[in-house]
Amino acid sequence: MRRLCYNVAASLDGYLARPDGSYDWIVEDPTIDFEALFDRFDLFLMGRRTYEVMAAQGLESLLRHAPAAVVSRTLEAPGLTIIREDVPTVVAGLKRQPGKDIWLFGGGELFGTLLDAGLVDTVEVAVMPVLLGEGIPLLKPGAAPRRLVRTSCEALASGIVLLTYDVADA
């Protein structure tokens, strides 16, 4: 079965983006092998707000690696897979399909929904050496607690710390 991997960059104080959705604070590190990272996945799953931020900043470069499915009740985008209803059931079905893992890309709200449904298998956070003070949180407030089991931790010379956890009760 495919795994659903929440793979994100976050500030040290737990934010994925500034309040306006921008992520200009993310530290560049030339030692990160993005091609190898992208090669692990054959589907990007994201919410509408993440899609809109990515579309405004050049979604084509991301989609050359894999197609995207966007969760939205209102988005109209011809040629794009849009999940409008019963998101946990649809995502569970995607996980049962053959293929590589699925990259849960972007926002904490969709992550929290799928985590609460027991569908997230791994949480992979690149912790940036930055404090934002406010922004879009890693996990939506009010999400149910989950136990994680650390599977790797790597500190890079840039100050980025790569943390990988399995969700214990996924």
Choosing among 3.50.50.60, 3.40.430.10, 3.40.47.10, 1.10.287.180, the CATH entry for 4-19+34-167 is 3.40.430.10
Question: How far are the Cα atoms of 26, 141, 161 from residue 9, in angstroms, in the given order?
Answer: 7, 18, 10
Mapped onto helix, strand or coil, the DSSP state of residue 117 is coil
Residue 63 main-chain phi, psi, to 5 deg: -75, -10
State the pTM of this model: 0.90
- Residue boundaries of the structural domains of the chain: 4-19+34-167
pLDDT of the chain, 170 residues: tens digit per residue: 899 999 999 999 999 999 988 889 999 999 998 889 889 999 989 988 888 877 777 666 666 677 888 999 988 877 788 999 999 999 999 999 999 999 998 778 899 999 999 999 999 999 999 999 999 999 888 888 889 999 999 999 999 999 999 999 76
